[in-house]
Amino acid sequence: MTDAPATSRKDWQSDQEVRWCPGCGDYSILTAVQLLMPELGVRPESTVFVSGIGCAARFPYYMNTYGMHAIHGRAPAIATGLAMARPDLDIWVVTGDGDGLSIGGNHLIHALRRNINLTILLFNNQIYGLTKGQYSPTSEVGKVTKSTPFGSLDTPFNPISVALGAEATFVARTHDMDRKHMTETFRRAHAHRGSAFVEIFQNCNVFNDGAFEGITSKENRPNRLIPVEHGKPIRFGPDGEKGVTLDNQGRARIVDVADVGEEALVVHDETRDDPSLAFSLSRLSRGPFEPTPIGVFRAVERLEYAEEVSRQLAGAQEQRGPGDLGALLRSGATWEV
């Protein structure tokens, strides 16, 4: 691909009026992406945003790129086909906790395990917003909603744990109240070759307002957000007085650094092929009311699916010679193997 001409945010904005509820966290995420795109050296005409159904799924309308508003949960499947047919394109998937983890859960985990070259942004507001406030796969136990008037009985998904369990090669978390962190996380995800999964804590101020305020508000961040940075001991707190260690069963635990010493702290290694440490970190918090890790959990290299399929096809053609698709379609209903 030749060098892309310089662009500005305006080049990436469509002519459509952005229409989410006033105060929705989606505005912040959209702005972060539009500001980032000119810095990536890519072309609008070579970029595609694919979404499913939900508030987040309006995203392609607001990007001056190719895009598709697909059916509920199917964005990863459609994006997979596009990535296989057009590996030259820059493909993003925008989904939500309901769209991506409920009806679309199977498509999501298989796109991740195959390591398709996609950048997947999952907006997590712990509620169904578009359909007016039903509980979602990430809603907490006991959540009272229109579909759970006596409180949800379902144990919620942890999206980071799900992605790590599916062997995603890049897994990260950010939130809609910190544009700088979002931008850098999206930049890292886009640069990754293979399936990149980013969970974004996103506020739904109409149906689940303040769901993440306990950890993302300015006053709570120093004590409740745990930055995980490659090669650094995991510490947090206003003066770094808290840290993370592993107990004798390999479970992540929060400690006072003064009690254990810095040498006892976990040194984060996002490139570790074994995902067990990243998984342990993903289980550190029971919900957005306890200190919660944020940043890149895993970033490892693995063969990218579309490239490997192309290699197989080229090898088969070398062995058997070029095929004739037209002749095959015009052939009879039976054949010999």
**Contact assessment for residue 284 and residue 293, using Cβ atoms and an 8 Å cutoff:** yes
pTM of the full structure: 0.94
Distance CA(327)–CA(308), nearest Å, equals: 27
* Residue 145 placed within a domain: yes
Residue 17 maps to which CATH number? Answer: 3.40.50.970
Question: Strand 90-96 and strand 66-69: pairing?
Answer: unpaired
Mean pLDDT by 10 residues, the chain (337 residues): 82 97 96 98 96 97 97 97 96 97 96 98 97 96 96 97 98 97 98 98 96 96 97 97 95 97 97 96 96 98 95 82 77 75
* Residue 160 placed within a domain: yes
* Residue 91 placed within a domain: yes
Domain count, the chain: 1
* Residue 241 placed within a domain: no
* Residue 335 placed within a domain: no
* Residue 251 placed within a domain: no
How are strands ordered across the β-sheet holding 235-236? Answer: 235-236, 242-246, 252-256
* Residue 90 placed within a domain: yes
Structural domain range at position 122: 9-211+303-307
* Residue 73 placed within a domain: yes
Of 108, 11, 129, the closest CA to residue 51 belongs to: 108
Retrieve residue 335's tokens: 């054949």
